[in-house]
Structure 1
Amino acid sequence: MAETLTIAFVSHTDTSGTFRVGSHHLARELARFGHRVLHLSTPVSLVHRVLRRGEPTRDEASRRGIVTDADGVMHLVPRTLLPAGIGPLSFAPIFTRAFRTSSIDLVFVDQPTLWSNELRRLATTVVYRPTDLYEHGVKARLQRAAVAAADRVVATSGAVLTALGVPASTPSLVLPNGVELERFILTEDDVREDRAVYIGALDDRFDWNAVREMALRLPEWTFDIFGPGQAAPESLPANVLLRGPVSYDDIPLILRHARIGLLPLSDAPVNRGRSPMKLYEYLASGLAVVTRETDVLTDDPDTGVVSYGRSRSAADAIHVATASASPNLPGSAAAAAAGWSEKARTLIGFATGGAA
């Protein structure tokens, strides 16, 4: 390895809750490469604490200060007076506590509400790493500022990169999300049942109507829906089972008992450019995948991905997917090329011009 770098991820999601996101995996891999890495996520503000908004686990994490995990990544959920995007976060004292200096080598920013020109002053290299499309509001405004100031831009999909309007003079890269291969892997003990599974947030990005349509088409199948969020609509078919949130550690076992992974994306604009990690986790686990077709997610019969929305209905797509061999060995093989270690190596190489 070349020199040890001081690296900060300024991200939207911390590791205390249900979800794991790309910045968590990239931070882990860069720490394993020998770099000093801080993962900093959206603060818990006094406003949130007074109104008791947000997950209790985030408030608990914010009380602990900087915590170092088993891979050597430092994690921090800051505590602030005002919410992100309204009140500024002071990065210099945070970096000083983590690295004993306020000046660091590299910062990756994927939470636009935490963008600050202070990052430009403190970091030798600033990389803006958007994971979603923001068309309006505070996030869109701060994202424009981040893109204008960044040394480099890394987007998780071509659709996101195109929408950003990155200046021609700014180097850019499309680096889709990946999969933790050692966790999501086929085993000889896998027992496949006629189950379709979704694991993720149940919010405005999720399409209950598509799930209903698929479940009605396959009444003999079980549709397991895992995740926190909004209450489900009434009168779902009896074969749709709401399982609630699930730990990241428990996901592999769940997937090993299913045949099809679901990505029932709504028509929310933010979904147009998403690169869902769940796609690669489903594939690595040997599942066929049924997904709404977007600018990023399309039909791919060679890897067992079946899309709907443009050329077929959700009901027809799930019917087609049932004919896929189980386990989905071509899909698993395709996912093997999307491991986070190689993603991290590509990322750090692009950001630094060759360091790993």
Structure 2
Amino acid sequence: MVVERLRVCRHTLLPLEGQALAVRVGGPPCASGQPFHRQPSRLVGNSACYVESFRPRRYSRGRRMKALVLSTNNYRSFPSRKQRFARRLAERGYDVLYVEAPVTWLAVARPKQWWKLSAWRSGVHDQGDHMWTASPTPWLPYFKKYERVADHDSLTYYRYLQSLAGDWTAEASIVLTYLPFVPRTLRLLGAPVVYDCVDDHSAYPGLLGKATVDRLEARTADIASAVIATNETIAAKFSSHEDKLSLIQNGVDHELFAAPAMTWLDTLTTLPRQRRFLYVGAMREWFDVQALGAVAAAYPDCVIDCFGETLPVVRDGLAVHANVVFKGTLSQAAIAQEAPHYDVALIPFRESPLTLGVDPLKFYEYVSAGLPVVSSTIHALGAFGEDMVRLASTPEEFISAVQDTIDADSLELRRSRVESSRRFDWSLRITEFDRVLDTMAHHQS
């Protein structure tokens, strides 16, 4: 039912009725319109004798409100909706603390993550334009497997936030969270919550229990005043929260990718065959080595350039294919300059609940550069025609789709993709995010 409703209401906020609750035991209620501050030890769930809806904390004229963004990415990692929505909060008048991705003590075994184990000691960093960042103290492992561990880590997380200079926990007016694992933190913070769900967190590989992650996420959604999903597959998980659910897909800095593409296309009279295929993104457990290997074997005279961090198992699995080249990471701006000069862009993911439910940023970047795309089966991409993307579920289908895509491509189709992808620009996604915030504020005023 929720999926059918979202097809009608796509990119619009559904009526918001549910509100998160703060609970105080004993004592008189707060005066009407006044901020409701709690002692953390007094929060006891919904069984208390006194319940009050969260209200935005009010500030004297000229003083900026404060917002917390609880992220699963570091601030200086690849730019995504997390940084963009955080910056939008700053543009709307908030001082924003962007809390970077947590790590567990298992990072001791990963030399590349050692710096994160002590990053919390450096406190809050001013990034300018009313944006600050901080990196949390390490968590206990197994928080995705055992709910009691998650609640322990939530308390550790809250106490870390509480210790930061700037009174962020006492004065937070809104929390934008990408973490479904810290509902206890959200309760203790006591501010209105927006939960932006961009992945099926229970489908990730590793030390987790699906039922545990689902319960933690359900608690997070219950607390949230608004829930955002990136696509209908993710939205279907929140069928019991239709009253506060909206759908905002990922987007692209359209001008960044479109300008180099159009500059190059305007120099051409026919579309040349480059004999180069492109992949951009992390190559981890979800990467389909078999599919890419099959394409490499079928097109030995074509180079497949792969940009992004790569697991050793992926490199080893493709080592026999000399035409697969791992080129490390590049900035978005550098990728935008390179992208138009490829024949086709690839998204080879292994089929799993995780990959079926993603809304890949790379797709929007590829088509904004005019590139045709061949992808593994991803539900969010099924809405687009073959002039934009062909889907393949087996290595053989992948090979065939690559050939069909190259044969069908033209200068006209390249220009059409660039132009039609304007509708994916982040500015339009930000407008949708604004609607969520405005509607939430209206219901809580």
Instruction: Give me the TM-score of the superposition, normalised by structure 2.
Output: 0.70
Match of 1:124 in 2: 191
Q: Measured at CA, do residues 141 and 107 of structure 1 come closer, stay the same or move farther in structure 2, by a change above 3 Å?
A: same
1:50-95 CA deviation, whole Å, 9 max, x = no partner? 4345535645754543223254422221123535834223436626
Aligned sequence identity (%): 23
Looking at structure 2, the residues matched to 24 and 353 of structure 1 have their Cα atoms a distance apart, in angstroms, of 22
Looking at structure 1, the residues matched to 386 and 441 of structure 2 have their Cα atoms a distance apart, in angstroms, of 35
- The question of whether the paired residues in 2 share the 8 Å contact of 1:263 and 1:292 is answered with yes
Q: Structure 2 unaligned runs (5+)?
A: 1-62, 144-148, 204-209, 266-271
Q: Measured at CA, do residues 235 and 44 of structure 1 come closer, stay the same or move farther in structure 2, by a change above 3 Å?
A: closer
Looking at structure 2, the residues matched to 352 and 250 of structure 1 have their Cα atoms a distance apart, in angstroms, of 36
Looking at structure 2, the residues matched to 31 and 121 of structure 1 have their Cα atoms a distance apart, in angstroms, of 23
> SS in structure 1 opposite 2:174?
strand
Looking at structure 2, the residues matched to 334 and 98 of structure 1 have their Cα atoms a distance apart, in angstroms, of 44
Looking at structure 2, the residues matched to 103 and 83 of structure 1 have their Cα atoms a distance apart, in angstroms, of 30
1:35 corresponds, among 79, 82, 94, to 94
- The question of whether the paired residues in 2 share the 8 Å contact of 1:16 and 1:58 is answered with no
- Bigger helix fraction: 2
> Partner amino acid for 2:280?
I
1:111-154 CA deviation, whole Å, 9 max, x = no partner? 223x2333234243212211111251543331122122222210
1:14 corresponds, among 74, 78, 86, to 74
Match of 2:353 in 1: 269
Q: Measured at CA, do residues 346 and 320 of structure 1 come closer, stay the same or move farther in structure 2, by a change above 3 Å?
A: same
Q: Quick check: 1:250 aligned with 2:334?
A: yes
Looking at structure 2, the residues matched to 238 and 221 of structure 1 have their Cα atoms a distance apart, in angstroms, of 10
Looking at structure 1, the residues matched to 247 and 383 of structure 2 have their Cα atoms a distance apart, in angstroms, of 20
Give me the CA root mean square deviation: 3.1
2:302 corresponds, among 217, 221, 228, to 221
Match of 2:232 in 1: 158
Match of 2:219 in 1: 145
Match of 1:103 in 2: 171
Match of 1:51 in 2: 109
Q: Measured at CA, do residues 218 and 162 of structure 1 come closer, stay the same or move farther in structure 2, by a change above 3 Å?
A: same
> Partner amino acid for 2:137?
R
> Partner amino acid for 2:328?
G
> SS in structure 1 opposite 2:218?
helix
The alpha-carbon deviation at position 353 of structure 1 amounts to 1.0
> SS in structure 2 opposite 1:112?
coil
Instruction: Give me the TM-score of the superposition, normalised by structure 1.
Output: 0.86
Looking at structure 1, the residues matched to 394 and 275 of structure 2 have their Cα atoms a distance apart, in angstroms, of 26
Q: Measured at CA, do residues 234 and 211 of structure 1 come closer, stay the same or move farther in structure 2, by a change above 3 Å?
A: closer
Of structures 1 and 2, the larger Rg is shown by 2
Q: How many residues align?
A: 351
1:314 corresponds, among 361, 375, 398, to 398
Q: Measured at CA, do residues 226 and 315 of structure 1 come closer, stay the same or move farther in structure 2, by a change above 3 Å?
A: same
Where do residues 295-310 of structure 1 align in structure 2 (5 Å cutoff)?
Answer: 295-298=379-382, 300-301=384-385, 303-309=387-393
The alpha-carbon deviation at position 195 of structure 1 amounts to 1.7
